[in-house]
Homo-oligomer: A and B are copies of this chain.
Amino acid sequence: MRSGLSVFGAAAFCLWWCGSLALAAEPAPAAVPYVVTEPASPADFALVGEQTATKMLVDRQDHKGLLRAVATLQQDIRKVTGRQLPMLHSVVAGTEQGLALIVGSLDQSALLADLVQRGKLDVSAIKGRWEAFQISLVEAPLPGIRQALVIAGSDKRGAIFGVYDLAEQMGVSPWVWWADVPVKTSKMLYIKAGTFKVDAPKVKYRGIFLNDEYPALTSWVMQKYGGYNHQFYQQVFELLLRLKANFLWPAMWNNAFADDDPQNAIVADEMGIVMSNSHHEPMMRADKEWNRYGKGPWEYSKNREAIYQFWQHGAARHKNLESIFTLGMRGQEDEPMSEGENIGLLEKIVADQRQILAETFKNRDVSTVPQVWALYKEVQGFYERGMRVPEDVTLLWSDDNFGHLRRLPTLDERNRSGGAGVYYHFDYVGGPRSYTWINSTPIAKIWQQMELAWRYQADRIWIVNVGDLKPMEYPIDFFLRMAWNPTQFTAGNLEQYARDFATQQFGPEHSTEIAWLLEGYSRHNGRRRPEAMTAQSYPLLANQEAARVSTELADLAARSSTLLAKLPKNQQDAFIQLVDHPVQATQALFELYHAEARNQLLASQGRRETNAAAADVKRWFDRDAALTARYHAIGSTSDKTGRWDQLMAQPHIGLRYWRNPEANTMPVLLTNQPIEAADMGVAAEGSSASWPQSDDLGHSLTLPRFDRLGMQQRVIDIFNRGSQPFQFEAKVVDASSGKNKAGWLQISASQAEVKTSYPLKVSIDWSKTQPGLNQAEVWVKGTGYGWAKIKVTALDSPAARAPAIQPALAARQNAPFADADGYIAVNASSAQVQGNSTERYWQQVAGLGRFLLDEQAGSMVAVTPADQLVDTSPAAIKQAPHLLFPLYFQQAGEFNLQLYLSPALQITPGRGVRLAVALDDAEPQLLDLMANYDDKVWQQSVLDNIRILGHRLQVASPGLHQLRVYLVDPAVVLQKITIDTGGLQPGYVGPVQSRRLHPQENQ
């Protein structure tokens, strides 16, 4: 539970974000703990003491939803302590009741009103506020009551959130039901003396959207509840309330909330959940209701009367239920209207909808009826082209379905009374690729985007599409907690949140490790979503990326398995759901495609290992199925199916386009039959080309260029396609003289036998090279006609010789990044930040960006005040905050600089998404993410989670240079830079960061 967190100092928290990063440890977002399991002082309040039991006191006339919450609390206390506190609705005068827990809302509780009136309770901190609560200790509040813990809500939900705040503090996770997190039991529960907690949300409506709920959630719901009825929904409502959320878009894939079970809407209202329908379902009527009851086409231009009546029914049905009415109209099944982008028609529709609301809420100013206009997909275009709705209607901006906000309110829009909100996605069905399986959104990304929303005052509604709900526990928890109070979350304490979450679910002991696992799998899936994975995603050869990712995931999987075995039995189910399943399933999916890629490469080279790789594909495919089966069997006994049976039923292997396949689809497996002879093939490190086909295609086999600062050994792979061994002979041939020798080039063997393959190592004797480019060939002869010839070059740059470097180098912390192996690569978080001001600055966000975990790297985010205009004159830009990259070039030349940026959209109309770069004293050059931007670029960017901008760098001389990246527009996220000096291999995450050049290392 959260109170346990205090035993960890700041230093101990520094897990994955630290290392090369130097983030200040900021205060944790966790609430101040006020519940303890043993009294620290005699003045502490015994909610459940060694012998004593406090009475629960609540006004019978208080909100029904609050009474429900209090009853739930009573059960929570019983689960924690084993003791059920008596529930009273009044105090019998003259009896001695001892201690009491008093709960009430300011608007409904006579009990509370009495305390306030009698001066026993000061509620000025919450009175009149939205959903505020106050938890305090009151001496002798009532006759016969010695002391009371009072939970007071400014309103119904304020009181309910107070109740669940206590429950959480006691050791009941919000995920107690939805993730089988065991209650942390304790014989006693004490409230610290002096406890006085006041809290209230900063975002008004905070909720989730159950969506794309077929097959996983729907199959489970049908099995467990027989349908999307109120028995099911009240579990969802309770989860939301425990997470202090208040808003829901219900399942709509093939469901209609208010129609499927008339109790659904009634129970929601009673429990305190504000309902709406999803962005494209106007007037509180589900899309599917039109299928059931609508007459004629869903086309307003042709069928106004029927649709008008249809909406009237929705308004009437929800007149007395707390709701937000969605205005506007889209086509059925979340498609654009069939009438096209007809602004006049849509304005008429909204006017009619307002009319219906005015008729329905006769005695009320219609502007007080909560309404929202979702500017989703093409609807945003209507708005941008001038369509407006009344200013009391909340404008709901959306992300691009892939977690990147498309637009945020301008200064003018922020003054609208209806305010603005954000519709975000953790799950999406659509192009270019659906993602509906397991969590693939790192919290750092959520934070970076939602912090932007907060900064731009899009704070009226935060709603997030969570798909089937279940695999998204971790990001839901983060999103809703951040919605409660965005200011509590900073770039510096995201790590603390992960540990807090781990601690709440599993206790403090393994929280470091669990936070690492959560972060690890979600960071991996955040680099590229599982559904967008193919065999080609992480290259096998360039930068050895696939192998590095494989190692990373193997480590995560092994650590998760170890921890699972170590955990107490009653935590294992929850651990599987929240941690181990996504970790293992992430690895299985990656390794499936990794094996497919090996299968393809090996088959293309005709290698003997091809079939083993095919078997690996099948093994990981089966592993995935076994993991799903394990999840589905959680809690199963001989007489019942698993607790979460079917909840992982979403097919996720083998997407060929936006849609998930009908079932997991095994990749096509390639098998070969080693030929009944010896048959030599030769490949050079880093390339899939192999001899002898290379000869036929006119391709040369070439090793990456050697230089003094880079890799000092490369491998020529001599392999066998046949089933018989062979002998090879190798020699070095000078390319210019044709002589059978080049003294500077060394090979590890001049002959050997090859059964499967033989790694011939190639290295350079720098004492024998000539300045400049040295060229030679390694010739290999085994079976087949003639020699395989592999080109080897070694760049002996005077600039790379030790004596020349020393004077050029600055202090160690500013040591330049070395041009080696034909490139320079530097993570943005390795740059020196210069010129930051309070208002405009580069902010380091750990865990954000497409890095490998072992890089311990983060991105740099450009922060400016909303709406601040920028002077883009070169002189002004030079004054801007900038990232300084000290670089050391081996050669002069014109080189390609690439800036790896997170996908970002034009959140402010009429403004680019820009930064500026300059080498040394050159004039800064503006680069704009919006230049040459189109749908195809967008599609690629959300599949790849990257935008790469190129720029030609003129490097006039070898040696030290300084590259500066200047801040221009907000929300630009720089992940890394690369410079191709002749050997950069295109990859996915790209090459590892170049090493810094320290004088002492180069002698």
Contact = CB atoms under 8 A, between A and B. Distances in A.
Contact of A664 (B675, B678, B721, B785): B675
Interface in A615-659: 651, 654, 656-659
Contacts of A722: 662-663
A675 B696 contact: no
A482 B799 CA distance: 73
Interface residues on A, range: 35 or more
B670 A669 contact: yes
A661 interface: yes
A669 B603 CA distance: 9
Given A669-B672, A670-B670, A672-B668, A696 B662 contact: no
A669 B666 contact: no
Contacts of A658: 696
Nearest to A695: B657
Contact of A657 (B661, B665, B692): B692
A996 B599 CA distance: 52
Contacts of A671: 668-669, 671
B693 A657 contact: yes
A665 B669 CA distance: 18
A571 interface: no
A657 B696 contact: yes
A675 B663 contact: yes
Contact of A663 (B432, B667, B676): B676
A673 B663 CA distance: 11
Nearest to A692: B657
Contact of A668 (B603, B692, B696): B603
A668 B670 contact: yes
Contacts of A677: 651, 662-663
A679 interface: yes
A784 interface: yes
A679 B656 CA distance: 13
A401 interface: no
A238 to B, nearest CB: 34
A606 interface: yes
Give the residue among A668, A669, A670, A677 with the most B Cβ atoms within 10 A: A668
A783 interface: yes
Contacts of A784: 659, 662
Contacts of A676: 663
A21 to B, nearest CB: 40
A829 interface: no
Contacts of A432: 696
Contacts of A673: 665-666
Contacts of A669: 670-672
A610 interface: yes
Contacts of A678: 662
Interface string A689-723: 00011011100000000000000000000000110
Contacts of A662: 675, 677-679, 721-722, 783-784
A662 B677 CA distance: 6
A666 B610 CA distance: 13
A628 to B, nearest CB: 12
A658 B696 CA distance: 7
Given A610-B668, A670-B670, A675 B659 contact: no
Contacts of A664: 675
Contacts of A668: 603, 606, 610, 670-672
A677 B662 CA distance: 6
Interface of A is mostly: loop
A664 B722 CA distance: 10
Contacts of A697: 657
B610 A656 contact: no
Contact of A665 (B606, B656, B695): B606
A431 B696 CA distance: 8
Nearest to A726: B662
A715 B49 CA distance: 81
Given A663-B722, A670-B669, A679-B663, A656 B696 contact: yes
Nearest to A625: B676
A974 to B, nearest CB: 31
Contacts of A695: 657
Contacts of A651: 675, 677
Nearest to A429: B785
Contact of A679 (B610, B661, B670): B661
A610 B666 CA distance: 13
A696 B785 CA distance: 45
A651 to B, nearest CB: 8
Contacts of A610: 668
A664 B696 CA distance: 19
A989 B777 CA distance: 44
Interface in A407-433: 431-432
A612 B951 CA distance: 52
A498 to B, nearest CB: 36
Contact of A659 (B431, B663, B785): B785
Interface string A216-236: 000000000000000000000
Nearest to A722: B662
Contacts of A721: 662, 665
A692 B659 contact: yes
B661 A693 contact: no
A786 to B, nearest CB: 9
A675 B610 CA distance: 23
Contacts of A667: 672
A517 to B, nearest CB: 31
A428 to B, nearest CB: 14
Contacts of A606: 656, 665, 668
A672 B672 CA distance: 15
Nearest to A653: B675
A705 to B, nearest CB: 27
Most B CB contacts (10 A, CB to CB) among A431, A662, A675 go to: A662
A721 B656 CA distance: 13
Interface string A720-764: 011000000000000000000000000000000000000000000
Contacts of A693: 656-657
A674 to B, nearest CB: 9
Interface in A424-467: 431-432
Interface in A339-366: none
A673 to B, nearest CB: 4
A664 B675 CA distance: 7
A610 B671 CA distance: 13
Interface in A206-265: none
A598 to B, nearest CB: 14
Contacts of A670: 668-670
A789 B771 CA distance: 64
A306 B533 CA distance: 66
Nearest to A680: B662
A678 B663 CA distance: 8
A693 B534 CA distance: 15
A690 B683 CA distance: 36
A654 B676 CA distance: 13
A673 B653 CA distance: 12
A207 to B, nearest CB: 27
Nearest to A669: B671
Contacts of A657: 692-693, 695-697
Given A651-B677, A657-B695, A668-B671, 15 more contacts: A431-B696, A606-B668, A651-B675, A659-B692, A659-B784, A662-B675, A662-B679, A662-B783, A663-B677, A663-B722, A665-B672, A665-B673, A665-B721, A669-B670, A669-B671
21 contacts: A606-B665, A651-B675, A657-B692, A657-B693, A658-B696, A659-B692, A659-B784, A662-B677, A662-B679, A662-B721, A662-B783, A663-B679, A664-B675, A665-B675, A665-B721, A666-B675, A667-B672, A668-B671, A668-B672, A669-B671, A669-B672
Interface of A: 431-432, 603, 606, 610, 651, 654, 656-659, 661-673, 675-679, 692-693, 695-697, 721-722, 783-785
The 9 A-B residue pairs whose C-beta atoms are closest, nearest first, are A657-B696, A662-B677, A663-B677, A663-B675, A666-B673, A662-B679, A603-B668, A668-B670, A663-B676
